[in-house]
Structure 1
């Protein structure tokens, strides 16, 4: 049944049953609103051309007759190639489709078809991407959406069409005075221009307005919490200084100078009646967890409870082991809640938190469920806070009476960016590594030097150490000549599989499957873990002494630094090898910089400089909120203007009571909800 409420579930659309609904939710699509703003990341230009007008390497639609039977052949590991000849006027060309054997059933001898693909002029061959019905409208841009193994392009396109028909006119999120000031399109023009552009120019105009809209909504959420926080009076926590001294004396190591400074800053905040809202930036392995322990123990000695929320279950377990070991020495019981905590255990923990018997809890999103109630929550710590939505963070804060907030991130963020994105927070920084940690030895090698890398890996394995092997893509891409995880996994299995256990981990696996593989790696049941960047923020495997990153020039500098930080967690020497064959001058500069610099803050600034120069491979700026259409570096000026605009709107109308803001208010309330998906 079609409805007129844009926030209605996708399950109300014709043809969306329970299974399809569950599949759509794996992409974060729950409602018709979500689908309307699930924009394509690129467009295929479905322009039909005569063969003599096509240039080498061009993507094009060619129409002709199938003149040979389609044949499916196998090559490599689980790969197929479907080939047939296509007659176009008086010419005959070869057409190949990789890994799409099912197309054979759709093709018949003598059939007229249109094929979209990339033309190789010297070989007179078309590498096909899709077969189109000849009646299809060819002269248009076809949107390409991010999908996974559960949801196909065709399904997204069908559903977007349905919702566009359902809502031909949309209410506006960005107020009219701002649209006039910045020459922005209205909501309907943005959505239609992004999903169904007639020309690339229209899609660019729509994208410009969509970026402002996204940043404006983010800043409206952020500024409203800033407003609340500035009016917020907390409670001064009179912690026991002698108990903290006792904890420091029980440690088997001395805090670094930076750790001491940050602990003092946090303790000063706790003593202050103003609510603490602090961001702790600590380079990978700099010892943020120990700082968190002092903050937790301080509020406990003042009679309060503390909660630490982390993005993944395995990270929660790791924090739990470290923190309970340290606080156990001073008699503090620490609880752990994750998705896999048994119902019986959960009941006990809920009761303990409600009665105040449990002082400290560590957990994933499970902490923000309704059943979790605290007797006296005084401090919340959020690890890698950009992985949580504003609404999720607000829900946790709402479980206490104006609790102090400490957010932590392992990603060094350039100060200019941090102040714009997290301008509502005080910022603390840990730069130095803890005593006894050896800096990771990094090298840049070309693909021609792989034999040397394999030799080094073999030496590490013989000494009983484990290795991460990282690759940027999961499957072959027509656009990028990049070795993918599956190929690398085969290569590693061939090289080392006889004597070592090699495993594969990537983002398209189910969450419990990823957790299981990571747990096996932690337990040293796996020697070589071939993985995509899903391990970027995460687990502390002290025995993992080496990392090899293939196609390293496809990652941003900050991301490479984050990845490298997964090793070097023990007291032995660690090695990171970046394998790359960059073609551009700035690509080579990036490899030089990352191989010779271990200071994450220096790298973050370099990343910013290089990316502003337009070298935008691997633009994901980890440690900052993830936006769907905007990029905080390349669209930095838009972010600044969106921040000013949000402040202005809230200054003029703090409760958004103006009738023009009613849809904006609805969207903000919707964005503050959390979905279990």
Structure 2
């Protein structure tokens, strides 16, 4: 494989080859993730200072930055320790003071000789009615005035790096940026009015006004798009690579699916029908399926998964459905059992708890093909778990399973099709960034018969009222969840919070009516507490966030969330989705500790006003930012230097369709635009993609 193109060598040299960057500054810059000149090109100024020349400081309203020409007057050295050194100056209309702390008199006399003209630029403030400029940022001779830009860019800094060092290093990195061939589709570039790559860098590093710093500015948009399209090209290459691996066409005849649909008390939604059609079409194709099924809380993903699994069984194969926890695996099993029975297929459950003889029998039946659909936890990855003919793997709750596990599961069968389900609605731009190599089906309708959940905000001061209301609801035969937050400091603290609430509610509502579930319990106790609640023996379940994913108790119609202000929006939406599953009108109470901060208030209000998970996710993205939304550290979400997923969401969709189209027209990236795209991949350090091309 050929290496990095020579035209990029200067950008990948050591950072210390730039003027003003010695070993110490280089170490500091590494803290900003800047290790090569290329990193500086993509470290754009985040703000700027207006340094336009004024006739007098009277033209501005202090405190503000002013740039004026002055005549230097008398020097007034510091009158004692800790006192400032002051210099009187006069501009065209008024006098003011330049103020310096800890400065050497000798240095200041050279810098500002009495009687001479100088250009000074800095922040002017009023102190006891006297205008002062403390430590001017620039002091220049009149003939040097041209060195000061009218609008000075301000870069992000880190300890040990000053603005001046950053500006100088960025300017030097820019001189190394070559003219590169164009990788953007010419029609798109013309339509958007984007500059060439080199010109875009110049404009982004030398903004002429605050407007040039906005993500909507053409230069910034172009650079963001370059980053996104390089990322999407990598995902598209991975997708193309996987599509080359032949799958095994699974064409079901629909007989088992028809039995299940006949047994349902309601018709599937249009979204469910559409998703099943997309999935079964993928399964029938020669290439391997890699599809994401995204559905909001309660949109009916389980039915879609079962119908897809039945298509695998109809075509003579087996299916597996994996859940992240034992509680969820059991729940899937119980939800699917009556429907599997209606279809006449053999369903089995495998968790880490199955031991000895029973486990051995189950594994033998699986290998002999006597089990059609296996439901389990990651135990289905273990050695000794062999399928007769695995055609489809359904994975629930994506982010707990990385790509590595997806591949391990793929190795289990004869390259099975893969369907990943997530109940976390992700805004489209993020879904593309995170799952851009997958095809996506979205369930955006709720099945009939689900009653909307009424959501209310209550202050924690009204705790006694809430408990009294709860006692009343229990008399009417209802059940409730009471969620206590996980306070990060220590697990011990969480337990006391949940255990104290448990004791308090037990005292108020009666001994046997309140159960408790938290993360530190042994699994068997957790299961027992859950089972007692499912059976209706306990009426209130006090829980830490253990219950957020998937637990299904139709009789539970009340959800109380304590300290709701410290939860994320997506998490609150998931928790609320645990109620409203039965026929009873349901309520979700968000209890908060006043005073509410602005962001927390906005979060809780969004939740109160809508139950559309996708809208909530878009809001969450706007409030929290992309990295936090799916936890950047473990999400594998790429770190973009220029692109801003919140404000440039539409660019991501554009980049995806563009990348897929380019590869469709030029799979080997051999045309002039394809060659330019390779340079882009090297520039953006997408080595993975370059390896997939298998060529330089």
Q: TM-score, normalised by structure 2?
A: 0.58
Identify the match of residue 486 of structure 1 among 488, 493, 499: 499
Query: C-alpha separation between the residues in 1 aligned to 2:352 and 2:235?
Result: 28
In the alignment, is the contact (CA less than 8 A) between 1:501 and 1:527 conserved in 2?
Answer: yes
Map 1:253-652 → 2, pairs under 5 A = 253-474=266-487, 484-496=497-509, 498=510, 500-580=512-592, 581-612=594-625, 621=629, 624=630, 627=633, 637=643, 648-652=686-690
The one-character-per-residue Cα deviations of 1:71-112 (angstroms, maximum 9, x if unpaired) are xxxxxxxxxxxxxxxxxxxxxxxxxxxxxxxxxxxxxxxxxx
Moved more, 514-523 or 334-343: 514-523
Distance 1:492 1:388, change over 3 A: same
SS at match of 1:398: helix
In the alignment, is the contact (CA less than 8 A) between 1:259 and 1:287 conserved in 2?
Answer: yes
In the alignment, is the contact (CA less than 8 A) between 1:460 and 1:545 conserved in 2?
Answer: no
Map 1:73-152 → 2, pairs under 5 A = none
Query: C-alpha separation between the residues in 2 aligned to 1:626 and 1:511?
Result: 29
How far 1:625 moved relative to its partner? 6.5
Match of 2:212 in 1: none
Match of 1:76 in 2: none
SS at match of 2:516: strand
SS at match of 1:340: coil
Structure 2 gaps of 5+ residues are 1-32, 42-156, 162-230, 646-651, 656-679
In the alignment, is the contact (CA less than 8 A) between 1:546 and 1:576 conserved in 2?
Answer: yes
Query: C-alpha separation between the residues in 2 aligned to 1:396 and 1:540?
Result: 27
Distance 1:629 1:276, change over 3 A: closer
Distance 1:418 1:371, change over 3 A: same
Query: C-alpha separation between the residues in 1 aligned to 2:479 and 2:578?
Result: 12
Distance 1:651 1:592, change over 3 A: closer
In the alignment, is the contact (CA less than 8 A) between 1:258 and 1:429 conserved in 2?
Answer: yes
Query: C-alpha separation between the residues in 1 aligned to 2:336 and 2:602?
Result: 40
How far 1:529 moved relative to its partner? 1.7
How far 1:356 moved relative to its partner? 1.4
SS at match of 1:484: helix
Distance 1:434 1:383, change over 3 A: same
Distance 1:620 1:575, change over 3 A: farther
Distance 1:492 1:475, change over 3 A: farther
SS at match of 2:298: coil
- TM-align CA RMSD: 3.7
Distance 1:253 1:177, change over 3 A: same
Distance 1:446 1:260, change over 3 A: same
Query: C-alpha separation between the residues in 2 aligned to 1:261 and 1:556?
Result: 31
SS at match of 2:557: strand
Query: C-alpha separation between the residues in 1 aligned to 2:455 and 2:284?
Result: 43
How far 1:430 moved relative to its partner? 1.1
In the alignment, is the contact (CA less than 8 A) between 2:323 and 2:329 conserved in 1?
Answer: yes
The one-character-per-residue Cα deviations of 1:389-416 (angstroms, maximum 9, x if unpaired) are 3222211111112211111011111111
In the alignment, is the contact (CA less than 8 A) between 1:258 and 1:432 conserved in 2?
Answer: yes
Query: C-alpha separation between the residues in 2 aligned to 1:634 and 1:467?
Result: 43
SS at match of 1:366: helix
How far 1:596 moved relative to its partner? 1.8
How far 1:566 moved relative to its partner? 1.2
Structure exhibiting the larger radius of gyration computed from Cα positions = 2
Query: C-alpha separation between the residues in 2 aligned to 1:277 and 1:342?
Result: 33
In the alignment, is the contact (CA less than 8 A) between 1:474 and 1:486 conserved in 2?
Answer: no
Query: C-alpha separation between the residues in 2 aligned to 1:333 and 1:403?
Result: 19
The one-character-per-residue Cα deviations of 1:349-392 (angstroms, maximum 9, x if unpaired) are 21122121211101001100011111111100000021123222
Query: C-alpha separation between the residues in 1 aligned to 2:394 and 2:495?
Result: 39
Distance 1:467 1:620, change over 3 A: farther
In the alignment, is the contact (CA less than 8 A) between 2:235 and 2:436 conserved in 1?
Answer: no
Distance 1:246 1:656, change over 3 A: same
How far 1:561 moved relative to its partner? 0.2
Query: C-alpha separation between the residues in 1 aligned to 2:527 and 2:348?
Result: 20
In the alignment, is the contact (CA less than 8 A) between 1:386 and 1:626 conserved in 2?
Answer: no
Match of 1:245 in 2: 258
**Structure with the higher helix share, 1 or 2:** 2
Query: C-alpha separation between the residues in 2 aligned to 1:312 and 1:543?
Result: 22
Distance 1:477 1:316, change over 3 A: closer
Query: C-alpha separation between the residues in 2 aligned to 1:511 and 1:280?
Result: 29
Distance 1:336 1:477, change over 3 A: closer
Q: TM-score, normalised by structure 1?
A: 0.60
Query: C-alpha separation between the residues in 1 aligned to 2:237 and 2:379?
Result: 25
In the alignment, is the contact (CA less than 8 A) between 2:257 and 2:343 conserved in 1?
Answer: no
Moved more, 403-412 or 565-574: 565-574
Query: C-alpha separation between the residues in 2 aligned to 1:310 and 1:270?
Result: 21
In the alignment, is the contact (CA less than 8 A) between 1:483 and 1:551 conserved in 2?
Answer: no
Distance 1:570 1:634, change over 3 A: farther
How far 1:532 moved relative to its partner? 1.6
| Count of matched residue pairs | 446
Moved more, 348-357 or 501-510: 501-510
Query: C-alpha separation between the residues in 2 aligned to 1:421 and 1:289?
Result: 23
Distance 1:389 1:243, change over 3 A: closer
Map 1:143-292 → 2, pairs under 5 A = 181-182=38-39, 201=159, 226=239, 228-292=241-305
SS at match of 1:504: strand
How far 1:177 moved relative to its partner? 11
Query: C-alpha separation between the residues in 2 aligned to 1:301 and 1:546?
Result: 41
The one-character-per-residue Cα deviations of 1:427-481 (angstroms, maximum 9, x if unpaired) are 1111222111101111111123323322321122112222111122358789x99
